[in-house]
Amino acid sequence: MENTTYKNIILEFKRMLKEFEMKKSEFNDESVFTAKLLQKCFELDKWKIQQVKKHKLEEEHILEELLEHECFYTFDVSSVSDLLEEYYTLSEVQSVFEKYKNQFVKWSD
């Protein structure tokens, strides 16, 4: 991928997942398809992490998860830290939170 951004990685992830889902008719059994879909999700997640690391987009990845989990609203990064503990330390997650909190938090007067 040229000019790779975290958004581009997510778009490609979604495209590959949709491509797999379109093959649903090839499976005779719903439970087999579900198991294969879950396996594909794990494979694609590993691919996503490899792309993030390859293109040095760790900060963007953490920020996206912080936003998705509303951490700037709750001031609690534990859900993201738990979700990403295999890839990032709590300190790394907190560091990204601290870097962006003034941008995403609206302080009341």
Read off the pLDDT of residues 56-98 as tens digits, 9 standing for 90 and up: 999 999 999 999 999 999 999 999 999 999 999 999 999 999 9
- Domain ranges in the chain are 1-56, 57-109
CA atoms of 29 and 65, how far apart (whole Å): 34
Asked whether 1 and 9 are in contact (CB, 8 A), the reply is yes
Asked whether 13 and 47 are in contact (CB, 8 A), the reply is yes
pTM for the structure as a whole? 0.81
CA atoms of 105 and 18, how far apart (whole Å): 34
